[in-house]
Structure 1
Amino acid sequence: MRPPVLMLIIAVLVAPLAARAQTPAADPTPRIVVMSAFPPEMTQLRAATTDAREVRVAGVSFVTGTLEGRPVVLVLSGMSMVNAAMTTQMALDHFPVRAIVFSGIAGGIDPGLSVGDVVAPDAWAEYLDGDFLRAGSDGRFAATRGHVPAYGMLAPRPVTVVAPDGTARPMDWLPADPALLAVARSMPRAELKRCAEDAAGGAHCLGAPPRLVVGGHGLSGPVFMDNADYRADAFATFHAQVLDMESAAVAHVAYANATPFIAFRSLSDLAGGGAEDQVRVFMRLASDNSATVVRGFLRALPAR
């Protein structure tokens, strides 16, 4: 092999190692990761963060600073389960993480909840992991292979999770941290927005003041769910309150890394159970309500 060709191959192989070597060293300050999926959910949180400093890791922007008196690192997970899992692990690999707190919007599937409410579930499920069932000659789908009833051809099943000790087991629900949930239950009540303004300047006000609900179940999957029939089935099957596209993936990675996790999700829509334009009208209100609760939660956390 000619020397120039050999040098070129070596350069190609070494380049990724050099890039990793340039990755910033871990921040020595234990921090709370405050994560949102996309920019509108992060606006209020980023504006309230002081001493902000950006650190880029593999193209992802992490912002360290202080929020409500707590050392934090802010990051956008990106929408989808894969993006959320990847970004969460990246944060854990590059920062000494005290806890992970997610702030964002979601679809409500519990008929007892309304747009604007903020929910902090005590457990999350990856509801679209499962089987697409085979249809028999009579057109009926084969019996589900899991213990959760199928919805047509879709049969959910538990996700196998590897725990920090290396053991793997199927898990129906990925838990939020009990101590963080206790703080959320005891924190002072936050003043949440009730009215949203549309692009034309018109006001859209909710029928009742939004509230914080701690507990219950959340579902996450790689689709935007906007279907009234499936909404009803998901509530009946999983007894869940909210549905989004990231939280269960973050909970999964947090559990595997023995890191405390909690997610606050404000309802921007009713996942197919409300008006067609609910997300457009109430996304800003829901994002701000979730961020307001998260800021109050950070203030309520015991200092360490």
Structure 2
Amino acid sequence: MNAHTSIHIAVGLTACLAATPLAAQGIDDTPRVAVMSAFDPEWEVLQKGLGNAETHNINGSPFITGMIEGQDVVLVLSGVSMVNAGMNTQIAIDRFKIESIVFSGIAGGVDPELAIGDVVIPEQWGEYLDAIMARETAVGFVIPPWMSSDFAPMGMRHVRNQTVLREGLAESESRFWFPVDEDLLATAREVAEDLSLDECASEGDCLSEAPQIVVGGNGVSGAAFVDNAELREWAFETFDGRVLDMESAAVAHVAWANDVPFIAFRSLSDLAGGGEGENEMSTFMGIAAGNSAKVMRSFMAALD
């Protein structure tokens, strides 16, 4: 081997190493609860009462370590949308020592028995807008013969399951629902028994009836803001959904894939198109975000 060959090999190896991304480096070894919210109004509420706060900027997003109700946490701003939420959940798991994940935020109400301001804590989450867009034929919308759906369609939209893998599975499996952790849900049930929610916002807007905490049932998430009565009714009838949003099922999916316990608290800021007038999210967003955070803090205080 001559000198020129050695130089070329060395340069080639350096280029390969430079092109290979470094493994994500952990921020610290402190076991933490990841407390997540989607956007600024929820994010600001979460930060109230946070002790020993320290901000870490990762990929341009803030991850704030500190303490809430005696628990070591990292606050995660997921961003709105399924992709943002999934991405930042995985970053949190990779960069911090995450023992469980808690999501707190607002959502659209689907169950007609629920009202604005109520806090819903579902026992499982599904990605209801991940779909097969069917071909229109003389006999209606038909999906390809090698595909299938477990749910009643809405027009051309046929919902599909997720094909998933995680460590310990010999092969991939198909699933729609991603469960909330049973122990976390049991703690949430205990907290819900004795906690009352706020009826009025600091700005003066008040609810027409006292809000309640509902534990159990189904939540669904998808990449669309919903203000449509027909879709809302379909989500309720097809998935027995109580609440819908744009992040929780993505976080539940990533948590399941990493075998990390997960739970979400979602307070209704609007009825997803089910109200008599125009969408009321901008009016009741503050009450909803505050009530969700109130339940979350009581939950954190009750954790072992």
TM-score in same-fold range (> 0.5): yes
Q: How far has the Cα of 1:42 moved from its partner?
A: 1.7
Contact 1:24–1:57, Cα closer than 8 Å, also in 2: no
The answer to whether residue 283 in structure 2 is matched with residue 281 in structure 1 is yes
Structure 2 residue identity aligned to 1:283: M
Q: How far has the Cα of 1:129 moved from its partner?
A: 1.4
Compute the TM-score of the two structures, normalised by the length of structure 1: 0.89
Unaligned runs of 5+ in 2: none
Structure 2 residue identity aligned to 1:150: P
Q: How far has the Cα of 1:162 moved from its partner?
A: 1.1
Match of 2:185 in 1: 181
* CA–CA separation in structure 2 for the residues paired with 1:124 and 1:147: 15
Contact 2:201–2:286, Cα closer than 8 Å, also in 1: yes
Give the CA RMSD over aligned residues.
Answer: 2.3
How many equivalent pairs are there?
Answer: 291
Contact 2:271–2:279, Cα closer than 8 Å, also in 1: no
The answer to whether residue 170 in structure 2 is matched with residue 169 in structure 1 is no
Structure 2 residue identity aligned to 1:63: I
Contact 2:227–2:279, Cα closer than 8 Å, also in 1: no
Match of 1:142 in 2: 142
Contact 2:125–2:220, Cα closer than 8 Å, also in 1: yes
Contact 1:118–1:213, Cα closer than 8 Å, also in 2: yes
* CA–CA separation in structure 1 for the residues paired with 2:82 and 2:45: 24
> Partner of 1:193: helix, strand, or coil?
coil
Q: How far has the Cα of 1:24 moved from its partner?
A: 5.4
Q: How far has the Cα of 1:157 moved from its partner?
A: 1.8
Contact 1:162–1:256, Cα closer than 8 Å, also in 2: yes
Q: How far has the Cα of 1:259 moved from its partner?
A: 0.4
Contact 2:273–2:279, Cα closer than 8 Å, also in 1: no
Match of 2:199 in 1: 194
Q: Residues 202-241 of structure 1 correspond to what in structure 2 (within 5 A)?
A: 203-241=204-242
Q: Residues 8-27 of structure 1 correspond to what in structure 2 (within 5 A)?
A: 14=18, 17=21, 20=22, 25-27=26-28
Q: How far has the Cα of 1:190 moved from its partner?
A: 2.7
Q: How far has the Cα of 1:10 moved from its partner?
A: 5.8
Match of 1:295 in 2: 297
> Partner of 2:94: helix, strand, or coil?
helix
Identity within the alignment, % = 49
Match of 2:80 in 1: 79
Unaligned runs of 5+ in 1: none
* CA–CA separation in structure 1 for the residues paired with 2:129 and 2:248: 13
